[in-house]
Structure 1
Amino acid sequence: MTIRDWDGIALIIGAGDIGKCMSNHLTTVSPNLDVFVCGRNLKSQNSIYLDLENDHSFISFENQISLFKKPLRLVINTSGFLHSNIVKPEKRLSQINRSNIIKNLSINAIGPILIAKSIEKFIRADLPFSFASLSARVGSIGDNSLGGWYSYRASKAAQNQLLKTLSIEWRRKFPFSVVSILHPGTCDTRLSKPFQSAVPKGKLFTPAQSTEYLVNIISEQKPSDSGKFVAWDKSLIPW
């Protein structure tokens, strides 16, 4: 039985391009899952407010989950931070500053593990459950041959370590659970828009393409796959 057959609640964290596409896709392929998008500035009925940088927001988030009558089966974190009008990826050491590092870590590393902390009490040990979070190949220490992007690389590497550690604890608590650390490829989103010029032809995916790749991976994974760092093409990425 795959997630396409599961009955229960699915939460998509992040209302960006991939998050919205993920919600629409799951609603189509998993008709027995009630899919809710979680994030800020959401107005649809199937939405839950969550600010990853506000601890009080997680309390409200947990209260909303506690109201569900169906079991929590799937949580996918699609949120991430790379740049803003003020913060840019560092090309060299001289561009590093404390606030940039903290901003990246707050959303890309601390956010995902706090999501896991909030949902833990709602996971049933007798049912298959999947928690997936989007990482990035540039978060691989072993694969780093270009340098640069200090804060973003470090924050994704930190997320990888936190979720790898989580997978070990949950393997004991929830034997049917899977923790997935996923690289969606370079996707044509607002996050990657300023940096797409160097992407090889055929390697810039639409949100729909990335979504399909990732859902297929999640659907096929078994508990023995928990804690792996997996790319969109199902290849394993070195830590």
Structure 2
Amino acid sequence: MNQEIEKAPQVAALVVGAGQGIGLGFVRQLLEGDRATPLYATYRNPDSELLQIADSRLHCLALDTTDETQIAAVVQKIQVETSALHCVINCVGVLHDGTMQPEKSLRQLNADQLLYYFQVNSIGAVLLAKHIQPLLKHRDRALFATISAKVGSIGDNQLGGWYGYRASKAALNMFMRNVAIEYKRTCPRAIVVTLHPGTTDTELSRPFQRNVPPEKLFSVERTVQQLLTVIDSLQETDSGEFFSWNGDRLPW
């Protein structure tokens, strides 16, 4: 990656999964930095803080990425207003949901939970890439970034456990690698990457923070700042790669 970072120009952007956590953090910083006009943001929970943001640049859209018809409908709504997006950041992901917890051993596996991990963490992202493709077919630099996780690295896995989460993030990485290869033919200026945000103080990580050193537990604001720095540094030759919050390439 190029280490000389210039201030990113204002672009048309979409943040998927912006109802809370890192996605909401991206919306706030893109607006505060005057980096996105218009800025589209999707949410699932109608009580989300996202809907309390009063900004004429922000357009909020309800979306459940496990439903392809909803993905198609949201993209169609965006296409009515703009012919191009320059930045798409997908922050949708699940690790636990109150009743579902990551598996520690084989005896805890069940098919329904595994399927749900893949529906949320993997399949939704590649279906988003399918439908958003026309909006990335232009002559300007474009980005399609998806939040992944280092635990989805097969090469880095030394601890085991978390079967569904690890496997669904590994599948996400493969999906995005495939998307990068196809986009190179159809959207040659588009950069497709997966990003590891580090352990961030959100609802997703909160039950698992006990053994995380304070210096390794990032605020949402810090995580988003670090990921934007990585995003701004990306070159077209980086498409199809997996990056950590500090810009390091991660093993598959």
TM-score bin, normalised by smaller chain: over 0.9
**Root mean square deviation, CA, Å:** 1.6
Paired AA for residue 175 in structure 2: L
**2:74 counterpart of 1:71:** no
Contact residue 152 and residue 169 of structure 2 kept, 8 A: yes
User: Deviation at 1:68?
Assistant: 1.6
Q: Specify every segment of 5 or more residues in structure 1 that has no aligned partner in the other structure, as ranges.
A: none
Paired AA for residue 106 in structure 1: Q
Deviations 1:138-192 (A, max 9, x none): 0000000000000000000000000011101111222211001000000000000
Aligned counterparts, 1:4-23, within 5 A:
4-7=8-11, 9-14=12-17, 15-23=19-27
Aligned match of 2:55: none
Structure 1 residues 41, 201: closer, same or farther in 2, change over 3 A?
closer
Larger displacement relative to structure 2 (68-77 or 83-92):
68-77
**2:45 counterpart of 1:41:** yes
Larger displacement relative to structure 2 (53-62 or 37-46):
37-46
Aligned counterparts, 1:111-190, within 5 A:
111-190=124-203
So what's the TM-score if we normalise by structure 1? 0.94
So what's the TM-score if we normalise by structure 2? 0.90
**Structure 1 residue aligned with 2:75, among 38, 59, 62?**
62
Measure, in 2, the Cα distance between the counterparts of 1:122 and 1:100: 33
Measure, in 2, the Cα distance between the counterparts of 1:188 and 1:95: 26
Measure, in 1, the Cα distance between the counterparts of 2:162 and 2:90: 22
Question: Percent identity at matched positions?
Answer: 36
Structure 1 residues 169, 2: closer, same or farther in 2, change over 3 A?
farther
Larger displacement relative to structure 2 (197-206 or 143-152):
197-206
**2:206 counterpart of 1:203:** no
Residue 5 of structure 1 aligns to a residue whose secondary structure is coil
Contact residue 4 and residue 30 of structure 1 kept, 8 A: no
Deviations 1:184-239 (A, max 9, x none): 00000000000001212300000000000111111110110001110001111110
Count of aligned residue pairs for this structure pair: 238
Contact residue 133 and residue 187 of structure 2 kept, 8 A: no
**2:114 counterpart of 1:110:** no
Measure, in 2, the Cα distance between the counterparts of 1:2 and 1:166: 27
Measure, in 2, the Cα distance between the counterparts of 1:69 and 1:150: 40
Structure 1 residues 235, 32: closer, same or farther in 2, change over 3 A?
closer
Q: Specify every segment of 5 or more residues in structure 2 that has no aligned partner in the other structure, as ranges.
A: 53-57
**2:227 counterpart of 1:221:** no
Residue 8 of structure 2 aligns to a residue whose secondary structure is helix
